[in-house]
Structure 1
C-alpha cells in the first residue's frame, strides 16, 4: 500500500510543493492519518506510521520520517538545518542522523528539488550515497506568475523582498543597504511583522519599508509586476522560489552569487552580488535593478519549472521505490 503524507500545507516552501504535487500523483494512495503536524518532534513515533507493514511505502513531500516497519520515501528540499547553525542545531543534527538517514538508507532513494540540493545531499550521505538514488524531481511555479496582469500600486517604484527573517535569509544586509539609499523604498512580504519592525527601527529605515502580509499568488504576482526589482540576499537556499516567480513576470532579481541554487534559476538574467554581507555592494545592486528595467519575461522559466512535470517525476520515483 502507498501512503502519502498530506499534512504539509502552506503557500511557500514545502507546503506549496506538497499542495501542487500530491494532487498530481496518479497512483492510488491512502492518506497519512493522525492530528500531529509533520514538523512535530512526536511525529517520529506517529502511531499512524508505526502500524504500517513492511510491504507499505510512505511518501512525504517533506523531510519527515519516523519509526516504522514500512519504507519511507522523503523529499529533502535542502540541508539548511545542518548548514546554518541555530539554537536547535544539535537536535536537528541528531534527528537527521538517527531518523532521516536510516529512512533514506532503507528506502534506497530520496527526492530533492534542485541540482544544488542534490549535490549537498550526496556529500552529507558520504559512504551511504553509493547505494542511494538521489532523484532531482525539480520545482514549479504557479500559473499566476505571468507578465500580463495587474500591477500593485504598493510596489510601484519600489523594491520587493519575499521571505523570512531567519539567519540564512540575510535580510539585515538589505536593511543596511537601504540606509545607504534613503531614496529607495522596500515592500517586505514577511510573516514575522514584529521582527521586521524591530529591524527597521534598529537601522532607522522606518520611512523606507512597507510591511505586507502573506500574499495570494495573484497578489504576489501583482507586487512583482509593479516593482523595480526583487532582492534575494540568502546565503544558502534549497531552491529560491521568489527569484523564479519574479523572473516569470519579467522583474529582475538581485541575489547573492554564492547561493548556487538561486544562480541555477537566474543564470545571467539577474544581478549577482559577490559579497553576501557588504551593504555597499547591495546598494549598488539596488541601483542596477532600478536602472535595469525588466528582463525577458516568463516562458523559458515557466517551461523549465512546470508543476505537471514535477508531479510526473515524483510519481515515477514512487513507482520505482514501490517496486
Structure 2
C-alpha cells in the first residue's frame, strides 16, 4: 500500500504535539507500507524516523493565505502519484478528493475559536464540513472529541473511529539522558513541580503560578515547559516579583530529557481547560510522578493511579493537592508508581498503528 500523508507538523526544527502522532505512525508502520510525505516549507527539514520507507515531498503552492496549498495544490499533486489513499493528519482536508481520503480530526477547537471573518466563516463553516462529509473515514483521538464531532455532524457517525494515541516507550525505561546542565544548576537540588503546556491561554500558566504562590514552602520551584524562545522571554518578564527566583523555563526537551525532569519532580501541574488528548497526563504517570488536572474533555479518560483530580477553578484545592504531592512519602509514591506504569502501558503506539491499518484497509475500497 502506498499512502500519501500530510506531514507539515514534521516540517519543522522540533517535533511537538501533533508531530509526535505522525512520527509514531511512521515509526510503527509495517515494511509493506510506502509513505509519501507532503509538506510545504523548504526552509526547514522534514523530520522522520530511520528505517521507514518514505518519500519526502516539500512543495510550495501560491495562495497559502487562502489555504490553496491544502485545497488545490495537495490534491493536484496527490492525483498524479500512484497512491492508494491520502491521510490528512492535521484536522483539515481538501474539498476536492481525487482519491480516498482519511482525516484525523483531533478536536473541534478550530471550529469554535475561529476568527470571525468572511474568509474564516467560509472555510470553517462551509468548506471543511463539506470536505468531512466526503471523506472515506474520520479518525479522532478520544471519546470526548467524538461526542463534540457528532454534536456538530451526526451524519459522520458511520465513518468515525476513535483511536487513542500512545506514548513513547522511553517513559517506561530508566532515563537515558540527564536534565540539561543549565536547568539542573538553576534548580540547585531544590524540590520542584513541572508545568507542561506553554503559553496558550487555555493551558493556564497563570493558574500554575497562583498554585505555586499558594504553597507553604517558599523554596519549592516550578519548571515551565512548552514555551518557544520568544514566549519564554515574554513570560519571564511578566513573572510576579515574588516568583522570579522560583520559576524556571526549560528549553526544548527531548523525550529522554523530559523523562529525567519528570523523575525528579514532586508533581506535574496540568491545569489545561481542554485537550483533544493530553500526553502529559499519561507520560507523567508512566514516569511515576503524581499529576494534577481537572477532568475536562478528554482528560476524564486519562485518570490513572497517580492522578489527583481537582476542580478547575478551586485554587485552594489545587494548592492543597500540590502540597500533598510534595509531602507524599517515598514508599506510598513508589507503590502508586508501579500501578501507574502498568496502567499507562495500555496507551501503546503499536496498538494505535494497528487501528489505523484497519481504517486504511476500509478506506482504500471506497469511491473518492
Q: TM-score range by the shorter chain?
A: 0.7 to 0.9
Change (3 A) 1:151 1:48: closer
| 3-state SS, counterpart of residue 174 of structure 2 | coil
What is the correspondence of 1:191-270 to structure 2 with a 5 Å cutoff?
A: 191=227, 192-201=231-240, 204-257=242-295, 259-267=296-304, 269-270=306-307
Alignment gaps of 5+ in structure 2: 39-56
1:290 CA displacement: 1.0
1:198 CA displacement: 3.6
Task: Return 289-298 or 311-320, whichever deviates more.
Answer: 289-298
Q: Is 2:68 the counterpart of 1:59?
A: no
- 1:82 counterpart residue number: 111
1:63/1:100 contact within 8 Å kept: no
Q: Is 2:108 the counterpart of 1:102?
A: no
Larger radius of gyration: 2
Whole-angstrom CA distance in 2 between matches of 1:243 and 1:292: 19
- 1:19 counterpart residue number: 23
Q: Is 2:146 the counterpart of 1:114?
A: no
1:58 CA displacement: 1.1
1:239/1:262 contact within 8 Å kept: yes
Q: Is 2:310 the counterpart of 1:273?
A: yes
1:220 CA displacement: 0.2
2:325 to 281, 289, 301: 289
- 1:35 counterpart residue number: 59
1:72-100 Cα offsets, whole Å, 9 max, x none, are 211111222234x46x3656564333333
| 3-state SS, counterpart of residue 296 of structure 1 | helix
Whole-angstrom CA distance in 2 between matches of 1:13 and 1:320: 27
Whole-angstrom CA distance in 2 between matches of 1:205 and 1:255: 22
Task: Return 47-56 or 288-297, whichever deviates more.
Answer: 47-56
1:72/1:103 contact within 8 Å kept: no
Change (3 A) 1:260 1:13: same
1:269 CA displacement: 3.1
Change (3 A) 1:36 1:117: farther
1:311 CA displacement: 1.2
Alignment gaps of 5+ in structure 1: none
- 1:162 counterpart residue number: 196
Whole-angstrom CA distance in 2 between matches of 1:51 and 1:4: 12
- 2:5 counterpart residue number: 4
Change (3 A) 1:42 1:285: farther
1:165/1:195 contact within 8 Å kept: no
Change (3 A) 1:115 1:56: same
2:96/2:131 contact within 8 Å kept: no
Whole-angstrom CA distance in 2 between matches of 1:93 and 1:4: 27
Q: Is 2:173 the counterpart of 1:134?
A: no
How many pairs align? 315
Q: Which structure carries more relative contact order (alpha carbon 8 Å, separation 6+)?
A: 1
- 2:171 counterpart residue number: 145
TM-score w.r.t. the length of structure 2 is 0.77
Q: Is 2:364 the counterpart of 1:316?
A: no
Whole-angstrom CA distance in 2 between matches of 1:28 and 1:322: 14
1:18 CA displacement: 0.5
1:147 CA displacement: 5.7
1:255/1:270 contact within 8 Å kept: yes
- Runs of 4+ aligned residues of structure 1 deviating over 6 Å after TM superposition are none
